């Protein structure tokens, strides 16, 4: 992190000398206001605790006046006047919601990822917030896990890209600026690999997987000077992350050079008791402080347990002071000592909010992935006069928020019905939900199916409720909930009999297991949760005002039994060539995904040809240019996304069959062509040797370029790496 101003260093030293033990422990405590609920409710605390210095930080406080009053209490009515950290889960927007992170990852566009974080920071800072519990950087390859929706998807390379963009977006050019937030990279580490996709379950991965898959995004966040990191709830091979000195003090602080604040997850210190590694709050507090956790979120373990732990010699006063120093240093870097009220003073103008909503609409549209489009069912013909708009997500504005909506009001979201009516004012749009999102009532299906008669098309809006993904939302059967399949089957049958297209849109926080729908719908779109402008964003795509450009950042399995299924798997000694029964395969399911990583159609029709490398051999210090001819043979202007993969053909450690190393985009008018050039720094092709040390091994590397991780769609070249 940047060096501290001398006056701040002096101020911190003086404060620590003057602070009582209670005041020190107060700085290591973050309590929850009740403006939003993000975990089990803990016995209430009063504002007197702020005056007394027993609480030095808050979370879940919403509104500029509330934040200012709490800040005033700390600054003007406590003995030492130390300002509060005020944190909130600003995960995908604050009051103006952008797409949920997994959906936004489909843009593969770090400039936009940074921009939405910057806009969220501005809006949250205007409410007096100075810390965002984001970005969430947990790589996930398991759609059963509800928090897959919050992260970057399956690729550690995308995780790094997103980490850099989001930290820069939230923290801005100057952390002390009135519209900057302290970013919190979470949840360190490996949370996305919970056993069986079950929330909070144990994580037991190899050191190699930890270093190759789960840590790179956090390393990127640290390189960008992320202000704080939040350990995961989970245990890693039996050691809870909240008490994992090896991971926190060694891997994170010593090896990655992180010198910011470690803030526990919600009540996680007290939950060391439930993990079975602490007998009581005293031991739990001692373990967490020993591991390097600076702030106790909500549990009260530091306030209650550390005085006794100090008396018993379980921890030292120096460890307490070390943690207090880091917290005060962050507050200084946020400019809170200079002007604790700077955040919350600048109200958002109507123009700024309108502009932010326009951005949300654009990003929402770009986050939508067109998974299939049989016979060019989309875009809807301009002559569309009658549309059957069906399904439980068709008129569900509150659900469009997705999980982690925090400060966004339910009625501030645009539903599909509203968006389609605005986009097709001349059309008759007949709406029926047919079924609820969940539940077993099928009584509405018949009426819904009737609306297909005489319609030009049926638009089926299906998927999950906002609370069916996110935290505490693992699903063992990640298909369509309730009786939605029954509705879809009935609509598909009636529409088929009337020869009208059925366009199915999935609003969901994860890849859903819907091979039967992909097989039969005329077109299928993954809409994630597009945010506050959902209805307009979807209408922009369905009417052809915009061509779809989103690409899925996570593999869509055909069956739960295939999970985890991702492009970076190792070959095995018997790869899945059709060499008979003795191969890495299932006897009852294909190995192939329903949709591969990176898949997404546009309204163009792109071909790639003539892959060429700027050199056939290279060393670690070289950068190789990888060029490919791209042509749009379709009838509409569109943007193509091209992925650059590599496959090391021989290595001391069995290499993945594909590794992602670059993404490029090109927009072409119909009938035109262009050249897309991607730059590959050869050093990026290093791997972790048998000793887990980084190494760039000499030898042949395949360089592969194409529209997704589908091997059959990739052009291949060869590069010889020499020492
Ligand atoms: C929750 C989540 C974490 C969030 C925190 C505060 O339990 O695990 O991601 O930032 O508590 O709401």
Concatenating the DSSP letter of every residue in 393-445 gives: TTT-GGGGG-S--TT--GGGS--HHHHHHHH-TTSEEEEE--S-SSS---TTH
The CA 91 to ligand 1 mean position distance, Å, reads: 10
To the query of whether residue 440 is one of the catalytic residues in this protein, the response is: no
The DSSP annotation for 161-172 comes to HHHHHHHHHHH-
Identify any residues that bridge with 86 across adjacent strands, giving them in sequence order.
Answer: 58
Task: Specify the residue with its C-alpha closest to ligand 1, atom 10.
Answer: 133
When pLDDT is averaged across residues 217-233 and rounded to a whole number, the result is 98
Written as one string, the DSSP assignment of 527-591 is -----TTHHHHHHHHHTTSS------SS-B-SSGGG-S--TT-B--SS-SSSS-SSSS--SSS-S
- Does residue 556 surpass a pLDDT of 80? yes
Distance 116 CA to ligand 1 centre (A): 20
pLDDT on residue 47: 84
Q: How far is the CA of 178 from the centre of ligand 1 (A)?
A: 24
**Ranges assigned E (strand) in 6-122:** 29-32, 57-59, 85-88
Instruction: Give 113-144 pLDDT, tens digit per residue.
Output: 999 999 999 999 999 999 999 999 999 999 99
How confident is residue 645, by pLDDT bands cut at 50, 70 and 90?
very high
Least confident of 44-53, 218-227, 266-275, 276-285: 44-53
Query: Which H or E run contains 71?
Result: helix 64-77
Ligand 1 in reach of 150 Cβ (< 6 A): no
Q: What is the mean predicted confidence (pLDDT) over 556-574?
A: 97
Mutate to test the pocket of ligand 1, among 265, 298, 405, 473 (most ligand atoms within 8 A of CB): 265
pLDDT tens per residue, range 287-321 = 999 999 999 999 999 999 999 999 999 999 999 99
Residue 457, exposed/middle/buried by CB under 10 A (0-12, 13-18, 19+)? Answer: buried
Protein residue whose Cα sits closest to atom 8 of ligand 1 = 265
Secondary structure class of 619 (helix, strand, coil) = coil
Look up residue 607 and give its two tokens: 């071909």
The ligand 1 atom nearest the CA atom of 38: 12
Q: Does ligand 1 come within 6 angstroms of the Cβ of 674? A: no
Question: What was the pLDDT predicted at 36?
Answer: 67
Model confidence at 1: pLDDT above 60: no
Residue nearest to atom 11 of ligand 1 (CA): 266
| 404 CA distance to ligand 1 middle (Å) | 10
From the candidates 49, 89, 265, 540, which is the catalytic residue? 265
Q: What is the mean pLDDT of residues 416-437?
A: 98
- Answer whether 471 contacts ligand 1 (Cβ < 6 A): yes
Residue 629 pLDDT:
98
Residues 6+ apart with CB under 8 A from 273: 279, 280, 281, 284
pLDDT of residue 35: 65
Q: Which two tokens stand for residue 179?
A: 């519209």
Residue 44, class by beta-carbon neighbours within 10 Å (0-12 exposed, 13-18 middle, 19+ buried)?
Answer: exposed
CA of 266 to the centre of ligand 1 (A): 6
What pLDDT sits at residue 347?
A: 82
pLDDT band at 46 (very low <50, low <70, confident <90, very high): confident
- For residue 133, the CA-to-ligand 1 centroid distance in Å is 7
pLDDT for 529: 98
pLDDT of residue 37: 66
Rounded to an integer, the average pLDDT of 151-166 is: 98
Q: What would the mean pLDDT of 238-255 be, rounded to a whole number?
A: 98
Mutate to test the pocket of ligand 1, among 32, 35, 37, 38 (most ligand atoms within 8 A of CB): 38
Q: What's the alpha-carbon Rg for the chain, to the nearest Å? A: 26
The ligand 1 atom nearest the CA atom of 136: 9
Ligand 1 atom closest to the Cα of residue 150 is 9
* Global pTM value: 0.97
What pLDDT, on a 0 to 100 scale, did the predictor assign at position 580?
Answer: 78
Report whether residue 39 contacts ligand 1, using a CB cutoff of 6 Å.
yes
CA distance 269 to 231: 10
Determine whether the shortest distance from the Cβ of 199 to ligand 1 is under 6 A. Answer: no
CA of 125 to the centre of ligand 1 (A): 19
In this predicted structure, the answer to whether residue 622 has a pLDDT above a threshold of 80 is yes
User: pLDDT category, 4, cuts 50, 70, 90?
Assistant: confident
Nearest to 674 by CA among 618, 631, 717, 614: 631
Average pLDDT, the chain: 96
Read off the pLDDT band of 459 (50, 70, 90). very high
> 56 falls in which pLDDT band (50, 70, 90)?
very high
> In the prediction, which pLDDT does 44 show?
55
């Amino acid at each position: 992190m940047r060096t501290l101003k001398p006056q701040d260093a002096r101020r911190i030293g003086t404060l620590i000398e003057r602070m009582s033990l209670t005041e020190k422990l107060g700085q290591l405590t973050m309590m929850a206001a009740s403006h939003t609920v993000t975990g089990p409710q803990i016995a209430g605390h009063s504002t007197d605790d702020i005056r007394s210095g027993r609480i030095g930080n808050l979370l879940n406080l919403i509104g500029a006046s509330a934040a200012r009053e709490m800040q005033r209490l700390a600054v003007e009515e406590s003995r030492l006047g130390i300002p509060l950290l005020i944190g909130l889960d600003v995960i995908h927007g604050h009051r103006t919601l952008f797409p949920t992170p997994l959906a936004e990852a489909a843009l593969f566009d770090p400039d936009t990822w940074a921009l939405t974080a910057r806009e969220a920071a501005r809006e949250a800072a205007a409410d007096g917030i100075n810390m965002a519990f984001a970005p969430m950087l947990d790589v996930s390859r398991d759609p059963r896990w509800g928090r897959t929706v919050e992260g970057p998807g399956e690729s550690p390379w995308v995780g790094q890209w997103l980490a850099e963009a989001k930290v820069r977006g939230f923290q801005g050019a100057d952390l002390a600026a009135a519209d900057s937030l302290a970013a919190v990279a979470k949840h360190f580490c490996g949370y996305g690999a919970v056993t069986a996709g079950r929330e909070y379950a144990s994580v037991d991965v190899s050191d190699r997987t930890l270093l190759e898959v789960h840590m790179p995004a956090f390393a990127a966040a640290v390189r960008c000077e992320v202000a704080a990191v939040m350990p995961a709830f989970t245990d890693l091979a039996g050691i809870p992350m909240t008490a994992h000195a090896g991971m926190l003090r060694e891997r994170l602080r010593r090896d990655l050079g992180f010198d910011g604040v470690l803030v526990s997850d919600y009540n996680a210190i007290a939950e060391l008791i439930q993990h079975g590694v602490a007998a009581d709050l005293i031991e739990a507090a001692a373990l967490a402080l020993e591991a390097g956790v600076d702030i106790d979120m909500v549990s009260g373990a530091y306030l209650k347990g550390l005085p006794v732990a100090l008396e018993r010699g379980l921890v030292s006063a120096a460890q307490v002071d070390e943690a207090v120093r880091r917290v005060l240093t962050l507050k200084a870097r946020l400019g809170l000592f200079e002007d604790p009220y700077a955040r919350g003073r600048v109200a958002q103008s109507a123009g700024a909010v309108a502009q932010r909503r326009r951005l949300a609409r654009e990003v929402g549209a770009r986050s939508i992935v067109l998974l299939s489009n049989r016979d060019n069912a989309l875009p809807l013909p301009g002559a569309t006069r009658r549309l059957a708009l069906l399904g439980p997500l068709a008129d569900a504005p509150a659900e469009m928020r997705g999980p982690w909506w925090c400060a966004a009001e339910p009625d501030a979201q645009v539903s599909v019905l509203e968006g389609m009516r605005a986009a097709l004012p001349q059309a008759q749009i007949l709406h029926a939900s047919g079924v609820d999102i969940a539940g077993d009532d099928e009584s509405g299906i018949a009426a819904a199916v009737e609306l297909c008669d005489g319609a030009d098309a049926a638009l089926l809006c299906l998927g999950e409720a906002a609370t069916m993904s996110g935290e505490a939302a693992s699903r063992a059967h990640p298909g369509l909930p309730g009786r939605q399949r029954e509705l879809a089957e009935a609509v598909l049958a009636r529409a088929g009999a009337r020869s009208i297209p059925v366009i199915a849109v999935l609003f969901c926080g994860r890849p859903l297991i819907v091979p039967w729908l992909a097989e039969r719908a005329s077109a299928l779109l993954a809409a994630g949760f597009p945010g506050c402008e959902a209805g307009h964003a979807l209408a922009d795509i369905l009417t052809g005002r915009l061509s779809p450009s989103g690409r899925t950042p996570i593999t869509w399995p055909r069956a739960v039994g295939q999970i985890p299924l991702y492009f970076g798997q190792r070959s095995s000694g018997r790869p899945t060539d059709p060499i008979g029964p003795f191969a890495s395969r299932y006897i009852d399911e294909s190995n192939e995904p329903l949709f591969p990583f990176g898949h997404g159609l546009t309204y163009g029709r792109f071909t790639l040809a003539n892959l060429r490398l700027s050199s056939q051999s290279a060393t670690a210090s070289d950068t190789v240019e990888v060029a490919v001819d791209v042509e749009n043979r379709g009838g509409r202007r569109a943007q193509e996304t091209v992925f650059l993969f590599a496959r090391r053909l021989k290595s001391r450690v069995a290499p993945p069959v594909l590794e992602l190393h670059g993404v490029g985009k090109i927009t072409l008018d119909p009938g035109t062509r262009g050249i897309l050039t991607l730059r590959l720094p050869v050093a990026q092709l290093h791997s972790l040797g048998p000793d887990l040390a980084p190494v760039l091994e000499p030898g042949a590397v395949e360089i592969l370029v194409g529209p997704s991780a589908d091997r059959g769609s990739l052009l291949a070249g060869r590069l010889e790496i020499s020492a």
